[in-house]
Amino acid sequence: MSADLRTIPTPRVVVDRARLHANIESMQARATRAGVRLRPHAKTHKSPAIARTQIAAGAVGICCAKLGEAEVFADAGIADIRLPYPVNPANAARVQALQDRLRISIIVDSLDAAREWATVMRRSGRRLDVLVKVDVGFHRCGVDPDAPDAVDTMREIAGLDGLGFRGLLSHAGHAYHARSERELQEIAAREAAILHQLAVQLRDISIAVEEVSVGSTPTARFIDEQRGVTEMRPGNYVFFDRTQVGLEAAAIEDCAMSVISTVVSRPAPDRVVLDAGSKTLTSDGVRGFSPASGHGMVFPSLEATQPDASIAIERLSEEHAVASVPADHPLRIGDRVRIVPNHSCVVTNLADELLFVDGLSILERVPVAARGRNS
């Protein structure tokens, strides 16, 4: 390809291929060391090419959030997909079609939904693998482990004909709101303790709990300490982003994804306008321990190896980023910058393809095949 990052139309989402591969290897090594299976969440990249790299490195399969994503990865030949999502039984026909092609499992978090799934599966003479989702403090989905009937609910689900109970699963999404490394560590410890206690109670009544699955990129560093866990499901680590840097899950130089953007206006000495807006970066804010704000870390040139904290993207329109700069900042109209976004998973979902790069060179164009597959 003759174009490089100095000449391609901007904004453009690029991925440093060497960093991507290093991130994949490094998380795999962490899982292997801890003796747990790695099943990365593919929502971050939505790209079969990257899923294949993860599996080649040792992942046992992938996770998808939605059936639409799973269908794309099934088409690409991925053989084992878990949906840590309370897929509604109205989608039974699609789930069964996927069962004909690969190994698939979902989560349930209520007896009602589990019974409905059991009924539709029994009716077609099939069995669906399920894990029970446990709410470990994020308070999104999941069975409340403190509810007096929690173990009874799980026992009933495990006994339903038409379902294959595989184990317990959690997502400590509240880790993204942790205010310190110590709080993160406590969240990971509590997650493992809750799941372990439930697993023991279930095993005590002779229910096999084959899988105890946890997953989030910020808590992944504590996997060694999470006793009883069999599987981890981080997703974001392939690219990382400004939030992961803020949560100390990654160093700046681990961030594999960035957005190449051009200065399109310098309307005032202290203001620069870039061509990447919320239709490229999304409006997602930044999280992390240290006070941070704005819309991404800006590297002041394509060659710069460190972000320039004096360039602060203060607001996004749909197609503009408005940044404050010191009045004597040298950025001029036409200059190109590199932005590490706040949240890479949602940036991917806006792009039809990712450009894999090495420095300024474009190595491959990788389709985001499952982009927009949210149903």
Q: Round to whole Å and give the CA distance between 279 and 229.
A: 38
**Cis peptide before 11, with omega less than 30 degrees from 0?**
yes
Instruction: Out of 40, 61, 89, 167, name the contact with a second copy by CB under 8 A.
Output: 89
Are the C-beta atoms of residues 343 and 44 closer than 8 Å to each other?
A: no
Q: How far is the CB of 271 from a second copy (least distance, A)?
A: 7
Instruction: Out of 152, 352, 358, 364, name the contact with a second copy by CB under 8 A.
Output: 352
Residue 87 within binding range of a second copy, rule CB under 8 A: yes
Could you tell me which residues are beta bridge partners of residue 364? 356
Residue bearing tokens 């069995």: 127
Using the rule CB under 8 A, give the single segment among 52-60, 123-131, 149-157, 326-334 that binds a second copy: 326-334
Which residue in 302, 308, 338 sits closest to 325, CA to CA? 308
Residue 375 within binding range of a second copy, rule CB under 8 A: yes
Residue 301 within binding range of a second copy, rule CB under 8 A: no
Which residue in 313, 309, 328, 335 sits closest to 268, CA to CA? 328
Backbone torsions φ then ψ of 144, nearest 5 degrees: -75, 115
Q: Round to whole Å and give the CA distance between 218 and 269.
A: 38
Instruction: Out of 35, 77, 159, 285, name the contact with a second copy by CB under 8 A.
Output: 285
**Number of residues written out for the chain:** 375
Instruction: Out of 319, 360, 363, 367, name the contact with a second copy by CB under 8 A.
Output: 319
Residue 125 within binding range of a second copy, rule CB under 8 A: no
Write the binding mask 45 to 74 for a second copy: x where contact by CB under 8 A, - elsewhere. Answer: --------------------xxxx------
Q: Round to whole Å and give the CA distance between 225 and 190.
A: 11
Are the C-beta atoms of residues 261 and 337 closer than 8 Å to each other?
A: yes
Of 57 and 113, nearer to a second copy (C-beta) is 113
Number of amino acids touching a second copy (CB under 8 A): 66
Instruction: Out of 76, 252, 266, 363, name the contact with a second copy by CB under 8 A.
Output: 266
Q: Round to whole Å and give the CA distance between 87 and 290.
A: 36
Using the rule CB under 8 A, give the single segment among 30-38, 121-129, 133-141, 297-305 that binds a second copy: 133-141
State the residues that interact with a second copy by CB under 8 A: 7, 9-12, 43, 65-68, 85-91, 94, 109-110, 112-113, 116, 135, 139-144, 173, 262, 264-268, 271, 273, 275-280, 282-285, 317-320, 322, 332-334, 345-346, 349-352, 372, 374-375
